[in-house]
Amino acid sequence: AAAEVNVLDLLDPNRIAQHGRPASASTPAAAAKMVPLATHEATVRDFEQRARRDSQRIRDLMEERDALRRQTDVARQARSAAASTLDRSQLDADRVAALETEATQLRQRYATVAAQLETAQLDRDRHAADLRAAHEQLRSLRESQSGHHQQ
């Protein structure tokens, strides 16, 4: 707990003393050593927020991909039904062509969403690695600072 510090405490040595911190913590040198801790905590919070955004984006893309898969199946069935009842009239031929165009557009959109999903998952994995590294750096910094207070 001694290693955790409010950013306002860093700016005002009197506040550090009021909050029961050791007198040495109110020296500018001690406060300067605490600045990286607050910075690292902010970095970890930023990375955690980014991880939440990554997860939401992946969920959204998966929902869109699943909806496109269903739409593609419906379009395929409609195209098959229209093609099977095709009596060679121009109206039916136009309908089949329109259904084929719709199915092609859905497949293209599906491919785009699938690529976006893959990219989002790679981003999430990279960001998760950043978050783990930031947590480790913060833990290490807290341990080193708590060691200074015990001496």
Q: What is the rounded average pLDDT for all residues in the chain?
A: 79
Calculate helix-pair angle for 90-150, 28-84, nearest 10 degrees: 160
Radius of gyration of the chain (CA): 29
Contact 11, 38 (CB under 8 A): no
Alpha-carbon span 19 to 1, nearest angstrom: 12
Higher pLDDT, 74 or 35: 74
Per-residue model confidence as pLDDT tens digits over 100-122? 899 899 999 999 999 999 999 99
Instruction: Tell me the mean pLDDT in the region 7-25.
Output: 48
Task: With a cut of 90, say whether residue 145 has pLDDT above it.
Answer: no
3-state DSSP: the chain helix, strand, coil percent, rounded to 5?
90, 0, 10
Instruction: Tell me the mean pLDDT in the region 138-142.
Output: 91
Instruction: Tell me the mean pLDDT in the region 133-146.
Output: 90
How high is the pLDDT of residue 79? 80
Residues 13, 14, 18: CA angle, nearest 5 degrees: 120
Residue 32 structure tokens:
């300067």
Task: With a cut of 70, say whether residue 36 has pLDDT above it.
Answer: yes
Instruction: Tell me the mean pLDDT in the region 35-64.
Output: 90
Task: With a cut of 70, say whether residue 72 has pLDDT above it.
Answer: yes
Give the containing element (helix H, strand E) for 73.
Answer: helix 28-84
Distances from the Cα of 77 to the Cα of 72, 84, 136, angstroms: 9, 10, 53
